[in-house]
Amino acid sequence: MDKLLMLPGPTIVPSEVLLAMAKPTIGHRSKEFGEIFYDTIEKLKKVFITENDTFIVTGSGTATMDMAISNIIKKGDKVLTIITGNFGERFANIVESYKGKAIKLEYEWGDLAKPEDVKEILDKEEDIKAVTIVHNETSTGARNYIDKIGKVVKDYDALYIVDTISSLGGDYVNVDKFHIDICVTGSQKCLAAPPGLAGITVSEKAWEVINKNENEKVGFYLDLKAYKKYLEKKQNPYTPAVNLIYALNKALELVLEEGIENRVKRHERLAKATRAGLEEMGIELFAKEEARSITVTSAKYPNGIDDKLREIMNKKYNIVIAGGQKHLSGKIFRIGHMGICGEKEILATLSCLELALKELGFNIEGSGVEKAKEILSKL
């Protein structure tokens, strides 16, 4: 039986996207492919809500996080890395891998960043080249307010780099309005395409920095300048994942058909139902209330319950949920409700979770699925 993916990525890929992907491969330098490729980028720009240059890279979201840093910094450059979880840390690791200096603004996992803290560091520290932030931390189920942080960063020279890998197409992202200089995303989260493609947008302000950086070691495969040069002829510099482009094009078509506003509302609605359902059962949510993500819900394992819960969910009920990362391993579980997830998936997940918890001897307080239904019928 097919597994129901309730992960914070990869998410359920609609059959029509899978079938679009299975069309015969064509030449990546053909005019025909050029049209599809360019159209996919145009659609992605609409989802990013940007006029900035936008590129699709064959690779994971991390490939574009790498590009966002490697194309702008040289040895010793300072980058303010806002850290609210595992992926915020990844930006700091990337900065350090390129011998940059990561100035870490760290918060407890599950919390969110405060604009005033960002302002304080930008006022105090000179020559900060960029500020990085992760919109939605799948590792903690918490989200940052990238609009508010953007309002702060725009008044400084620093570039504003935002990871919307697990939020674009599910939570509200507006690259131009939020003053984002480099925005990165992945195909396999809220966009509901298969993994293997990543997106990146580049503002004029970012290009100025990139072009000045040309004497530095920026590598080859991830060199943004090559992508810009080839996009002029509607091509990719290196052979792109042709069939994944078919899939992403179809997935973006579905996003735009639903409409971004509607899609964000759907994610909000499902998040509220999931949270209320879990709390009704007597399960404590992990992320701070003001920080809670609308694409993934994190919750603490109750006393005596551990990853065995996930095993039962997977083996017996064919529903895949995620565990905790790093120090949260064995302490929390995470339910992704992103992409094409709907009521039936959430209600099935909460129902089976109740069965699995009961099997493990947990005394469920109230019916989570009834509570979720109540919320869904009202919203």
Which of 40, 50, 52, 70 is the binder for a copy of itself (CB under 8 A)? 70
Task: Show the CA angle centred on residue 262, arms to residues 283 and 247, nearest 5°.
Answer: 95
Cis preceding linkage at 10, omega within 30: yes
What lies within 8 Å, CB to CB, of 67 at 6+ separation is: 57, 184, 200, 222, 224
Counting contacts by CB under 8 A, is residue 186 touching a copy of itself? yes
- Taking residues 83 to 102 in sequence order and writing x for each that binds a copy of itself by CB under 8 A, - otherwise, the string is ----------xx--xxx---
- Judge whether 166 and 138 are in contact, CB under 8 Å: yes
Question: Which secondary-structure segment (H or E) carries 55?
Answer: strand 53-58
CB of 25 to a copy of itself, least distance (A): 5
Residue 5 touches a copy of itself, criterion: CB under 8 A? yes
Q: Which helix (H) or strand (E) holds 162?
A: strand 159-163
Q: Closest separation between CB of residue 175 and a copy of itself, Å?
A: 22
Question: Does 312 help bind a copy of itself (rule: CB under 8 A)?
Answer: no
Strand (E) or helix (H) holding 268 = helix 260-281
188: contact with a copy of itself by CB under 8 A = yes
When asked if residue 298 is in the footprint of a copy of itself (CB under 8 A), the reply is: no
DSSP states of 80-116 as a string? EEEESSHHHHHHHHHHHHTT-EEEEEE--TT----HH
Contact 295, 170 (CB under 8 A): yes
Q: Which of 88, 110, 169, 196 binds a copy of itself (CB under 8 A)?
A: 196
Binding residue for a copy of itself, selected from 41, 63, 350, 352, defined by CB under 8 A: 63
Among 211, 239, 262, 329, binds a copy of itself (CB under 8 A): 239
Q: Is 62 in the site for a copy of itself (CB under 8 A)?
A: yes
Is 260 among the residues that bind a copy of itself (CB under 8 A)? no
138 with 8: CB under 8 angstroms? yes
Report, in Å, the least distance between residue 199 CB and a copy of itself: 14
Range 266-276 burial, b when 16+ CB lie within 10 A, else e: bbbbbbbbbbb
Number of residues interacting with a copy of itself: please give it, by CB under 8 A. 60
Nearer to a copy of itself, 238 or 326 (CB): 238
- In the region spanning residues 132 to 151, those forming contacts with a copy of itself, defined by CB under 8 A, are none
Span near a copy of itself by CB under 8 A; candidates 76-84, 240-248, 291-299, 351-359: 240-248
Residue with tokens 């919390």: 111
Residues that bind a copy of itself (CB under 8 A): 2-3, 5, 7, 9-13, 18-19, 21-28, 30, 58-63, 65-66, 69-70, 75, 93-94, 97-99, 186, 188, 194-197, 217-223, 237-244, 247, 320, 322
